[in-house]
Every structure is written in structure tokens, then in C-alpha cells.
Structure 1
Amino acid sequence: MTPDLQSPTGTHIRLLAGHAGSGRPVFEVLPARLVQSDLFELAGSPGMVLGCAAGDVLRVADDGQFEVVEQGENWCIQAAGLGPLSPESFAALEEAVADLPGMAEAPSHLRFIVVTVGRTVGLPAIERVMDTWAAGIAGVEWWFGNEDHSASSA
């Protein structure tokens, strides 16, 4: 994978998130640090890509497919609703995960949210925070984006 060294904020990598209904690939661009030729350490957790989190070291192919070479110390939790989430619901989640400690991020359109929390925080604490937050929002679901754990609330 060729890093985007033109970016003023550092290197970015393009990971395959899936395919659109037309069959065209869908990519997510994420901040990363070049470790060596085809190895990158993720500097941010993905909002659409499954299987990785901030801090993971990935081997990335030119087509955006990747392999986690070294697992980092973070969980990636992803959330989305039936439509854009409200700024108030996002602010409530930011506040709730800060106490874990963790960090919530979202694009300006608020169609999805990604939360990064250290693996030292137990799963029950994360599930409690996410379930409590999601219970107040119709149609929202959340899941662990980098493990075979799943949880959701409707």
C-alpha cells in the first residue's frame, strides 16, 4: 500500500470496508504511522472497516485488504442508527466513554460513531455504557468492530 505522504496530518491508509450494491469497492481512509514498507500502525479506529482498532499494526495490500500483524491495546466499538444521530446523543456518548476512559469520534454527518477504549477496560463496563447510551435512542445499534464480540440495542 502506498502511504499518502502528502497529507499535512501524516500518513493515511486506505482499507477495504466492503462493496457497494453495484459491486464497486468501498474504502475508508484512516490515519496511520508507517512502521516499515507495507506495515502501518493505525492512529485511529475505523468507523466502517471491521477487524482492527487504533494501535493495531496492519499489513496492507494495494487493494485495501489487510491483515492484523500485531494487535494493539484498544477495542473498537462502532455504532449507527436508522439515520443520522443527533449532536446531543453524540455528546452524551462522548461524556459517557470519557469515564472509561475512552474516546468517541464521528464524521460531521453523524451517520455512525466510533469509540476507542483500551483493552484494560473490562467488557462488562463497555457493554454497560454502550447499552445505557443506546437504550435512549430508537433504532441505534452498536458492536465491537475488532473482535468476535457482539452487542446491540434497538
Structure 2
Amino acid sequence: MTSDPQPPTGTHVRLLAGHAGSGRPVFEVLPARLVKPGLFELAGSPGMVLGCAAGDVLRVADDGRFEVVEQGENLCIQAAGLGQVSPEAFAALKDAVGKLAGVAEAPAGLRFIVVTVGRAVGLAAIEQVMSTWAAGLDGVEWWFGNGDHSASSV
């Protein structure tokens, strides 16, 4: 596990996202809050890592593998495509997700998108928004990033 030596509000965790073709591990660094030694609450949902979302409390091993100790109130939805998502398409998603009291985020190049929405909104409403948005885009797919917490474990 990697954490910033700053106060709890400035902590980050390094989670294992998978392995490159060469076999080398690939990590995603996410903002987190130290809950107590060895336990971190995610402050943001991941774009590459599966099995967690903002608000989840994790136990993180030195190799980046993690266990969700306490599930938070959010779902993480990840989206990516064969090409780049246009700024207009991303803005449309941000607006649609905002109506669900959620947030859509992406790196500057819009290579992938991360959506965080409260579980209380319900799967049907989230699926409707995401499917409607993706239907107008060529090659874009989306999935629930934390639908199965058994995907990652210590």
C-alpha cells in the first residue's frame, strides 16, 4: 500500500488494477482518508480498478490487492470506447448523471470515464441513463465497476 505522509485528508492508496502484457503490475492511485491504521475510505471511484467505489472502506495490502471491509453508499460505473469520447458527449453524460445526484469524471484526454452514483438511485435508473448515453456513441461500452466485490481480494 502506498499512502501520502500528509494528514488524513491528503492520503492516497495504490490499488492493483491488473497486469500489463509484460506481466508487470499496473496500479491506480486514488484519494483516500485514513479511517484507522490499515483501513482507508476511498474519496474517489476508480477508473481502472474493479470491485470498489468512493465511500468504500478498504484494507490494502503492500502489493495493491485490497479487500472491501465496508461497502459504501455508491456505485462505480466505468465507461470506455475504441476511440476518444467527445467533450460534448462527456458534457451530456455529466448533465444526465447530475440529475441522479451523481458525478462523472474523466482524465483530460477522455480515454475513460468514471461515474459515481448513490446506490439508493437504483440500478434501473442508472442503467437507463448509461444505456441511453452510450447508444449514441460508436464503440463506447460501460459497466458497473463495483458490482461484484469478490473481484479483488487481499
Instruction: Please report the TM-score for the alignment, with normalisation by the length of structure 1.
Output: 0.92
Q: Which residue of 2 aligns with 1:26?
A: 26
Residue 95 of structure 1 and its aligned partner are, at CA, apart by: 0.3
Residue 4 of structure 1 and its aligned partner are, at CA, apart by: 1.1
Contact 1:5 1:12 survives alignment (8 Å): no
Per-residue CA distance 1:42-89 (angstroms, 9 max, x = gap): 000000000000000000011100000000000000000102211111
Cα distance in 2 between the residues matched to 1:125 and 1:101: 12
Q: Which residue of 2 aligns with 1:134?
A: 134
Q: Find out whether 1:101 has 2:101 as its counterpart.
A: yes
Residue 2 of structure 1 and its aligned partner are, at CA, apart by: 4.0
Cα distance in 2 between the residues matched to 1:54 and 1:5: 21
Per-residue CA distance 1:84-112 (angstroms, 9 max, x = gap): 21111110100000001100000111110
Cα distance in 1 between the residues matched to 2:61 and 2:109: 29
Q: Which runs of 5+ in 2 are unaligned?
A: 149-154
Q: Which residue of 1 aligns with 2:4?
A: 4
Tell me which of the two structures has the higher relative contact order, counting C-alpha pairs closer than 8 angstroms and 6 or more residues apart.
2
Counterpart amino acid of 2:83? G
Contact 1:78 1:114 survives alignment (8 Å): yes
Q: Which residue of 1 aligns with 2:39?
A: 39
Cα distance in 1 between the residues matched to 2:2 and 2:141: 34
Superposed, 1:2-151 pairs within 5 Å as 2-6=2-6, 10-148=10-148
Q: CA RMSD in A?
A: 1.2
Runs of 4+ in 1 over 2 A off after TM superposition: none
Residue 5 of structure 1 and its aligned partner are, at CA, apart by: 2.4
Cα distance in 1 between the residues matched to 2:48 and 2:18: 9
Residue 3 of structure 1 and its aligned partner are, at CA, apart by: 1.2
Cα distance in 2 between the residues matched to 1:61 and 1:31: 16
User: As a proportion of its length, which structure holds more helix?
Assistant: 2
Cα distance in 2 between the residues matched to 1:64 and 1:122: 30
1:120 counterpart SS class: helix
Contact 1:20 1:26 survives alignment (8 Å): yes
1:30 counterpart SS class: strand
Identity %: 82
- How many residues align structurally? 147
Q: Which runs of 5+ in 1 are unaligned?
A: 149-154
Residue 117 of structure 1 and its aligned partner are, at CA, apart by: 0.2
2:128 counterpart SS class: helix
